[in-house]
Amino acid sequence: MELTTIAEWDQRWNSIQEGIMNLKRRIAEGIPENQVSAAVNVDIYTTIYNMCIQKPPHNYAQQLYDKYQKTFEEHITSTVLPFLKAKHDKFLLRDFVKSWEDHKVMLRWMSRAFAYLDCFFVRQRRLPCLKEAAIICYRNLVYREVNAKVREAAIRLIDEEREGGEIDRALLKNVIDIFVEIGVGQMDAYKKDFEEYMLNDTRDYYSRRASRWTLEDSYTSYMLKAEACLRRERDIVSHYLHPRSEQKLVAIVEHELLVFYKTQLTEKKHSDSGSSAFPGDDNVEYLSRKLAANGIL
């Protein structure tokens, strides 16, 4: 298609940028995404389309792709990251989730407006698609900067619930979901940046409890606590962890509470008069069968 007039870069980009700035203002003000004018989106898409179908040197597809990425980078470094770096604990978790949700709103709007790039330019050049490019930008500039603080705050909440505290499970699920989503279809970020640390904390948590409980509790009391802990960990998985963590989590709890102290528990079973409520089978095997019968294991 030959245009009768050549779209000049400065004029057209200024028009596009005005629409982007308006979007960012709407996001900052919390205006719902569906209230963004469809007509404005169509106008920007048309402008970008016209800038991409012109013959060189007036084909601006590469410049537009670069500007698409640059728009996210500038917004993150000037606004998002400084805001998050000042936050801690639950406030960090809340604003981390909001920043990710806002980023996805901006991503959806921008990827629709720049969609023509995905249709031809991105495929021809074998570049990351618009959605992936925006997620990579957030991952490199935001996630890598704050994920350690976010993980620590999230694990503290998990331990708080283990201690009987009331926590915001919905917030925690939203936080952990980001570790999954940031991987763009891969589980590496969840596994390396969250799960491994969470499992190590779980191991330490139950190791400390078991060392105390074996000294303080009767056999019956100890075994009931172990059963309650296993049930709670499954409940934790069902509410906010990824399902892939369940088997690993349960295995750690069983090892720290039962396997590691098998000898002490066997001795306690024979000497503790309260253990008569349990059959005279090996305590670890018995607990496993008892929990299985109740659908817990």
- 176 and 240 in contact (C-beta within 8 Å)? yes
Please report, as a single letter, which amino acid is at residue 105: V
Q: Which two tokens stand for residue 200?
A: 């190590």
**What domains, with CATH codes, occur in the chain?**
1-185 (1.20.1310.10), 198-294 (1.20.1310)
**Long-range own/partner contacts, residues 281-288 (CB < 8 A, 24 or more apart):** 283/219, 283/223, 283/258, 284/258, 284/259, 287/223, 287/226, 287/227, 287/258, 288/254
Task: Give the span between the Cα atoms of 195 and 241, in whole angstroms.
Answer: 9
Task: Give the span between the Cα atoms of 206 and 204, in whole angstroms.
Answer: 6
User: pLDDT per position in the chain (297 positions), as tens?
Assistant: 444 455 578 888 988 998 888 888 888 887 776 666 666 778 889 999 999 988 888 889 999 999 999 999 999 999 999 999 999 999 999 999 999 999 999 999 999 999 999 988 998 899 999 999 999 999 999 999 999 999 999 999 999 999 999 999 999 999 999 999 998 888 999 999 999 999 999 999 999 999 999 999 988 889 889 999 999 999 999 999 999 999 999 999 999 999 898 888 888 877 765 444 444 445 555 665 654 454 443
| CB neighbours of residue 253 within 10 Å | 22
Task: Give the span between the Cα atoms of 197 and 192, in whole angstroms.
Answer: 8
**Taken in order 197, 203, 209, 211, is the CA torsion positive or negative?**
negative
pLDDT digits (tens, 9 = 90+) for 121-137: 998 899 999 999 999 99
* pTM for the full predicted model: 0.84
> Which residues, at least 6 apart from 27, have a Cβ–Cβ distance to it below 8 Å?
102, 105, 106
